[in-house]
Amino acid sequence: SAQLLETLFSRLLTSNPCPNINTEPVIWQLVRLLAAHEDSGLKGKIRKLAQILAEYQPDIRRVVVTKRKAFEEAVKGLGCHGLTPDVGGLTHLHVALKNEITNHIEAYKTVLHKLDDLGLVTNDSKKPVDASHHRLLSLQFEDVQQRLIDNTTLLTTLDKPALKQLKVLIETLSKRVQNDKEALFCISQLKRLQPIDENKPVATLLMTFTKGCGALLELMQAPESPCHSDGYHSESEQEVDKRNDATDRYAALYFQNRPRALEALDSLPELQYATQLKAKILFSVVVLAFRTCKNLRESKLRETLRSLHVDERTSAAHVF
């Protein structure tokens, strides 16, 4: 029960040294309860527990914030499957793709016929020597004029606005595939918490747990101290925003991309049961990436100082 967990973590907070216990399983059970019930009495029962958990593991609030953002982005992605612009107006993406590909096929067929009709690709008309620099500089007026007419005919057939939408449509299709992957990945994470009713809309499931995350974050808020001053900030708002943004990005990297990386490592038979080794591999990647970025930064700074003829020794203290 919530009261027993509250007592347990309260004692853990006061113990010395404080044991390192992962609170995520408890946190996600609270999110599940808050997502499934809107009873105000439930919030009152678990408010103290939520605050103690946030105090026991301070970064857990950031984890919940990151997860809520992931759910929100997944819901936004589900809503990006609407109509797409086409030559005749708005239509479904698959219809637009079919029309565009059909236009390409017809244009390619027309160009093939024109190439044959103009005799531009016959074995007798095209020889390697015809493309030599000396031959090109010796063409007469009529030859250049005919070449211009032939190339203009082909260009007019191929260079049409209607044939330039395929790349845009493919990019749209790629984004939609990625959005659906994100949504299903979030659902697969929710399935680990509780059985999911697959007959319910995916957006409904995601928004329900988004609401649960938001409710838990509200409960984690500690009451403000009476000595709190709204007019005083130890650091600028911009610095706080930058720091929070960097923390959010790292949290997203660790809590969203890490499980996917582990799943990729699970596909390797040699590492299937090597849990600790897989964790060490991921940690090593992070460490090496940090060192690489740091060394690259220092190298770029040294190159810049040398280019500006600045003494590295006198500037090192200010730059590094």
| pLDDT tens by residue, 82-102 | 888 776 778 888 888 888 888
pLDDT of residue 279: 74
Does residue 5 form part of some domain?
A: yes
Mean pLDDT of all residues in 39-53: 80
Mean pLDDT of all residues in 269-274: 73
Count Cβ atoms below 10 Å from residue 303 Cβ, excluding itself.
Answer: 10
Residue 127 vs residue 137, higher pLDDT? 137
Mean pLDDT of all residues in 233-254: 58
Domain of residue 300: give its range. Answer: 248-308
- As for how many domains the chain has, the answer is 2
| Percentage of residues of the chain with pLDDT beyond 70 | 76
Does residue 165 form part of some domain?
A: no
Count Cβ atoms below 10 Å from residue 238 Cβ, excluding itself.
Answer: 8
pTM, to two decimals: 0.55
Mean pLDDT of all residues in 41-67: 83
Task: Judge contact between 250 and 69, C-beta under 8 A.
Answer: no
110-131 burial, b at 16+ Cβ within 10 Å, e below that, comes to eeeeeeeebeeeeeeeeeeeee
Surface-to-core class of residue 226, CB atoms within 10 Å of its CB (0-12 exposed, 13-18 middle, 19+ buried): exposed
pLDDT band at 235 (very low <50, low <70, confident <90, very high): very low
Same domain, 6 and 67: yes
Does residue 262 form part of some domain?
A: yes
Same domain, 286 and 214: no
pLDDT of residue 268: 78
